[in-house]
Amino acid sequence: MAINNSNCLLISLTFFLIAFGSNHANGEVLKVGFYHKTCPHVELIVKGIIDDVISRVPSLAAPLLRMHYHDCFVRGCDGSVLLDSPTKQAEKDSIPNLSLRGYQIIDKVKTALEKSCPGVVSCADIVALVARDVTVAVKGPSWEVETGRRDGSVSNITEALFNLIPPFANITSLKQGFLQRGLSVKDLVVLSGSHTIGISHCSSFNNRIYNFTGKGDTDPSLDPNYIKNLKKKCLPNDQNTLVEMDPGSVRTFDTSYYKLVAKRRGLFTSDSALLDDSETKDYLKKQGINQYGSTFFKDFGESMVKMGRVQVLTGNQGEIRKVCSRVN
């Protein structure tokens, strides 16, 4: 998935342009149940908090899922997206991350876990667990989350700015971004499906409906009727209005995103780009047609596990932060 460089609120898959790292760092591996002995109730604690939060504020599901993507695709899944900088030079201060929300929920989970198991559970693992639980809370799939990540100590605004793929990325850039991270073309189209609960500012796609080539034209890859509907919601140069990526289903995790893209109603260029590759096009059309025979939920869990292994710190690497927004 692409990232909105103009304060997009959608759940977007983002990518870092640094070498992919495995989950076998430092001789240690991620595994399901890593905290079985040291913090046996970790998943129950996280789920209890998230179920309560999403029942009251369902709009937080999308940004909390998106947060895991943003963490993993800059410096790997090390919790660096959570770090504060007194000079506003951290990842969270970068333009693509300015619309991230839900940091206070991560802090709430961390506080509860520190009370139950002081100094045991990493912030990086909390982000991964929360991503799974918010997905389930909006009727999406569940999967077993591997844990054992440790927290990084570096967070750089420039790395986030230049390593996140924008919403206007074409299929070549998208495939290259995934493959460089050890993620497949199938992972690309599967994880793009999380746009089913995404929303975006008009500024992220206004050029597609008003000035695609700089001549006051529209993007020919978009359905003309869809363009008309978007123009009713977004005026030229509109920076603030929000639009649902999956109208009518924005708070339910399902396969309807694929149906829309197949009908040439993908909001971003990077959504429409999935029709420009035979493998991604075939997948989205199959998922959109076969709602009850769809493999999307199963595939999504598998791809999330793969993404969660990107360049992790384990063993003696990194640290376990006491507070997620600052290093120890």
Whether 201 is catalytic:
no
* Contacts for 125 with CB less than 8 Å, ≥ 6 apart: 34, 145, 147, 148, 149
168 or 130, which is more confident: 130
Picking from 210, 214, 212, 213, the residue whose alpha carbon sits closest to that of residue 236 is 210
Residue 159 has what pLDDT? 95
Q: Would 236 be classed as within a structural domain?
A: no
Alpha carbon 202 to its chain centroid, in Å, reads 19
Q: How far apart are CA 221 and CA 271, in angstroms?
A: 11
Q: Would 94 be classed as within a structural domain?
A: yes
CA dihedral 289, 295, 296, 302 (to 10 degrees): -160
Give SS3 for 316: coil
Q: Which residues are annotated as a binding site?
A: 71, 74, 76, 78, 80, 91, 195-196, 246, 254
Q: Would 212 be classed as within a structural domain?
A: no
**289 band by pLDDT with thresholds 50, 70 and 90:** confident
Q: Which residues are annotated as a binding site for heme b?
A: 195
Average pLDDT value over all residues in the chain: 90
| Unique residue bearing structure tokens 């802090």 | 107
Domain span holding position 274: 33-198+245-308
Q: Would 136 be classed as within a structural domain?
A: yes
Q: How far apart are CA 166 and CA 37, in angstroms?
A: 42
Residue 27 has what pLDDT? 52
Q: Would 135 be classed as within a structural domain?
A: yes
The answer to which of 119-133, 156-170, 197-211 has the lowest mean pLDDT is 156-170
How far is residue 312 from each of residues 19, 158, 297, 316, measured CA to CA in Å?
Answer: 12, 20, 24, 12
Q: Would 322 be classed as within a structural domain?
A: no
**CATH code at position 137:** 1.10.520.10
**291 band by pLDDT with thresholds 50, 70 and 90:** low
Q: Would 327 be classed as within a structural domain?
A: no
| Unique residue bearing structure tokens 């993507």 | 69
Residue 14 pLDDT more than 50?
no
Residue 79 pLDDT more than 50?
yes
Per residue in 186-245, pLDDT (tens digit) is 999 999 999 999 889 999 999 999 999 999 999 999 999 999 999 999 999 998 899 999
**C-beta atoms surrounding 266 within 10 Å:** 27
Q: Would 283 be classed as within a structural domain?
A: yes
Q: Which residues are annotated as a binding site for Ca(2+)?
A: 71, 74, 76, 78, 80, 91, 196, 246, 254
Give me the mean pLDDT over the 122-135 stretch.
98
Per residue in 170-180, pLDDT (tens digit) is 999 999 988 88
Give SS3 for 308: coil
State how many domains the chain has: 1
Q: How far apart are CA 44 and CA 302, in angstroms?
A: 22
Q: How far apart are CA 303 and CA 78, in angstroms?
A: 18
Q: How far apart are CA 149 and CA 77, in angstroms?
A: 8
Give me the mean pLDDT over the 255-268 stretch.
95
Give SS3 for 80: helix
Buried b (16+ CB within 10 A) or exposed e, 98-127: ebbebbebbbebbebbbeebeeebbbbbbb
Give me the mean pLDDT over the 43-60 stretch.
97
Q: How far apart are CA 323 and CA 328, in angstroms?
A: 8
Catalytic residue among 41, 68, 70, 201: 70
Q: State both tokens at 180.
A: 């460089």
Buried b (16+ CB within 10 A) or exposed e, 29-68: bbeeebbeeebeebbebbbebbeebbeeebebbbbbbbbb
Q: How far apart are CA 132 and CA 214, in angstroms?
A: 41
- Helices then strands (H, E): number in the chain? 13, 2
Per residue in 82-93, pLDDT (tens digit) is 999 999 999 999
Q: State both tokens at 305.
A: 């596990």
